[in-house]
Each structure stands twice: as C-alpha cells, then as structure tokens.
Amino acid sequence: MATRGKWGSRMGFVLAAAGSAVGLGNIWKFPYITGVYGGGAFVLVYLGFILVVGLPIMISELIVGHRSEKNPIGAFQNLDGKKSIWQAAGWLGAASGFIILSFYSVVAGQAMAYIFKSFAGFSGSPDQIVAKFAELKTNPLLSIMWHTIFMGLVISIVIGGVKNGIEKWSKILMPALVVLLLGLTFYGVFFSDGGKTALAFMFKPDFSKLSSEAILSALGHAFFTLSLGMGAMITYGSYLGKKINLPRAALTVVFMDTIIALLAGIAIFALVFEYNMEPAAGPGLIFETLPVLFAQTGPFISVPFFLLLTFAALTSGISLLEVVVSYFIDEKGWSRLKSTLIMGGTIFFIGLLPALDKIQVMFKGKRQSFFDIFDFVSTNYMLPTGGLIIALFVGWKMKKNIIESENFNSKDWYYNAWRFILRFITPIAVIIIILHGLELI
C-alpha cells in the first residue's frame, strides 16, 4: 500500500477542513436558496439543522476518519472488522463526490470567467449586467472551456497530495477570503440603502413562506455546506495522525462556515434591495447582483472577489476529488497520479452534461437541466442518506470506549448531549424529512 499522506500541523488540518466546507455553498448557494425560499424562516431552519444534524455528524465523520486512518469505504470495514453493510455509506459518498464535483466545476468555471470580466470592468444598467450572465451560462463552448480549466486545476493540486497541495493553499486563501467578505458586508450594512432591508429579510422569520421543499433544501444544504454525508471529513480526519480535540476542531469549522455564509448573504441582499433586484433570481444571483456594485467600484474589488471565490471553490473541489482518489490509493494500491488522473478525468466527462445548459430532460414534472437535477438529487437525497448511515454507525454501532478515546470524556455534558442528539434527534429528523421529500409521508 502506498504511504498515506498526513497534514503537517493541527492548524493546517483545521484550515483544510474549513477550506473544504467553505466554498461555493456559502457564497453562491446559500444566498440564492435563501432568496428562493423566502428569507428569515428558511435561515432559521437551516441554522437549526446545522446545530442538530451538521455539528453532530461532523464530529462523527472526523472520529471515523481519525480512528480508522482510511478512506470512507475502507473506514467502515476497518472499524466493523469485516466486509460490512455500513460500507454502503462509503460507496454512496463516492457516487455523491462524482456528481457534486461535476456540477460544482461548472459554477466554479463561471466564477473564473468573472475574474476576466472584472478586468474588463462591468458597465451598463443593472438589466444589461444581468443579461451578461445569461450569455455566459448558455454559451456551450465557454462553459465547457471554463469547466475544463477548473477540473485541470483541481486535478493538478490533488496530484500534489495533501500537505503540499491542499494544506498549503488553504492556509493562505481562507483568511484572505474572510477579510474581503467582511469588507463587502461592512459596505452592505453601513453604506448601502439596502442594508436594513437585507437584515430584516434574512433574520425576521415569516413562517408562512416556509414550504416543505424549503425544509428539505435547508437540510440538504446543511450537509452540502459543511461537506458532510459523503465522507470528505472522514477522509480529511484520516490524514490527521496526531491527537487532536476533534469536537473542538468540528466546532471551529462549523462556526467559520456558518459565519461566512451569513456574511455573504447580508452583503448580497444589501445590494439586491439597494438596486431593487429580484431576491429569488436563482443560481445566477451573485453573478447578477455583485457586478452592479462592481460597476461603480471598479476591478480593484471585483478581481480579488472572484479570484477568492474561485480559490474557495478550489479548496472544496479538491476535497470532493480526494474522497474518490483516496479509495483507489488505499484499497487498490494505485499511485496518487494514476488515481487522480483517471477519477478526475471521469468526473470531467460527467461534467459535460451539467455544463451544457441546453440539454434538458423531464424531472419532477418539468424540463430541467442536468445541472439542476444533479444538484437537487445529490444535495437533498444522497448527502442526507449518507449522513444518516454515518450517524447510525457512530451512534449505535461503534464501541463507546473507542469514541471516548477520541478526546471525549463520558462525564462531559457536551459528550452526553452530542451522543443523545446523534442517536435520536439527528436520525429521526433526517428520516422524516427525506420521506416527506419523497412524498411518502
């Protein structure tokens, strides 16, 4: 077996895990789904899921990875002692990795395209700026070109391995992104006319706007944004080696991820309301609203913004590919190079479907692009199902003494709270919501 990679330091691990969690999910997806599902009530439900589903499963994935030092498929076998049914979570996770990265790369490509548009500068009325995004999205050649470039970057960084590739980049880029977002939020709240309305939109819940699809999406997004339910955190935990306080590491990652999503939401909705734009515009929201502001500030702000958005997407994209690659390295003895090229190449080809906006099929009673279908199915069903299996495994199957050796003490109140939530509340919540989403209850 090839030697497994290891993080260089505890801090490097936490930043890499945060780098996986913080990505397009926070800055692109959270604001747009908050807009689509009507604001405050959706945000509240989402925050609730982060606490009772996300945090407990994050701790569980890290424990499984750290303890087994294996990829998600091998991890369950290692801990259960035989070929085990629990491995299904690992297989489902690998499948989710394929699907998510294939559409993730398309949005990341759009962010990259906007770096170049920023250099040229944005101009014209808000309507003209909005139209520019549609031009990019519906242009097959450009979409494929940017998808290819993004996948090429992800593949080359993953070939470099965990310490040189993943850890080094996360250390520099995460803090830079936070500073820039703070600046944009500060502008939104204190200098734009939309700041107050944005805060009310995001934090004053109106439960009459909360549909059952909104609740399913809030659950799915809690998984997506924290990189949970597909073994990314199992994989990152497996490279840890050292002893570390896993609950605290999980709390740090969850906190950073949530703050960044909320900051991005405030910054973007401040602009939406300042320029009388449509909060429910959908997946194009950040590409349509921010450039209206950037038309006034110039490339000085817009170039760094889209550059950092691309980097945030890269550190997450890397973790999506790493899950699949680690399996072939650990279990099949492939070299990192071979594993990355073959798996990255396959995902690239799958990604041609979501990259082409014109290819549409019937799904849930309407014509939809592969982009929308891949996103909906992986986020709302595959990740929660994977997460459910992980919660059941750690909550009910794993031995208590093994868990307690991972920096937990059975006398700590938070240990008992975590275990209780993980065993009862998390699985019940996930099962009810998935079944309801499938219209079975």
Sites of contact with ligand PFF (CB under 6 A)? 20-21, 23-26, 100, 224-225, 227, 230, 232, 316, 319-320
Taking the complex as a whole, the smallest distance from the CB of residue 97 to ligand PFF amounts, in Å, to 6
Residues 6 or more apart whose Cβ sits within 8 Å of residue 48: none
User: What's the first-to-final CA gap in the chain, in angstroms?
Assistant: 47
Taking the complex as a whole, the smallest distance from the CB of residue 350 to ligand PFF amounts, in Å, to 16
The C-alpha atoms of residue 14 and residue 12 are separated, in whole angstroms, by 6
Nearest CB to ligand PFF, comparing residues 192 and 426: 426
Please answer whether residues 156 and 148 qualify as being in contact, where contact means their C-beta atoms are separated by less than 8 angstroms: no
Nearest CB to ligand PFF, comparing residues 98 and 269: 98
The C-alpha atoms of residue 55 and residue 145 are separated, in whole angstroms, by 37
Taking the complex as a whole, the smallest distance from the CB of residue 24 to ligand PFF amounts, in Å, to 4
The dihedrals phi and psi of 360, each to the nearest 5 degrees, come to -135, 150
Please list the alpha-helical segments (H only) found in 204-284.
212-225, 232-238, 246-274
The dihedrals phi and psi of 369, each to the nearest 5 degrees, come to -80, 160
Taking the complex as a whole, the smallest distance from the CB of residue 30 to ligand PFF amounts, in Å, to 8
Taking the complex as a whole, the smallest distance from the CB of residue 31 to ligand PFF amounts, in Å, to 12
The dihedrals phi and psi of 235, each to the nearest 5 degrees, come to -60, -45
The C-alpha atoms of residue 128 and residue 25 are separated, in whole angstroms, by 26
Nearest CB to ligand PFF, comparing residues 192 and 310: 310
Taking the complex as a whole, the smallest distance from the CB of residue 379 to ligand PFF amounts, in Å, to 8
Taking the complex as a whole, the smallest distance from the CB of residue 367 to ligand PFF amounts, in Å, to 26
Residues 6 or more apart whose Cβ sits within 8 Å of residue 293: 187, 192, 271
Please answer whether residues 237 and 1 qualify as being in contact, where contact means their C-beta atoms are separated by less than 8 angstroms: no
Taking the complex as a whole, the smallest distance from the CB of residue 132 to ligand PFF amounts, in Å, to 24
- What totals of helices (H) and strands (E) does the chain contain, helices first? 23, 2
Nearest CB to ligand PFF, comparing residues 21 and 63: 21
Nearest CB to ligand PFF, comparing residues 99 and 277: 99
Residues comprising the chain, all counted: 441
Phi-psi region of 365 (alpha: psi -120 to 50; beta: other; left: phi over 0): left
* Residue at shortest CB range from ligand PFF: 25
Report the greatest alpha carbon distance in the chain.
Answer: 64
Please answer whether residues 341 and 129 qualify as being in contact, where contact means their C-beta atoms are separated by less than 8 angstroms: no
Enclosing H/E stretch for 366: strand 366-369
Residue 276, helix vs strand vs coil: coil
Taking the complex as a whole, the smallest distance from the CB of residue 321 to ligand PFF amounts, in Å, to 9
Nearest CB to ligand PFF, comparing residues 26 and 289: 26
Nearest CB to ligand PFF, comparing residues 28 and 408: 28
Q: Among all chains, which residue has been given the structure tokens 């980097």? A: 311
Q: Among all chains, which residue has been given the structure tokens 């109106």? A: 206
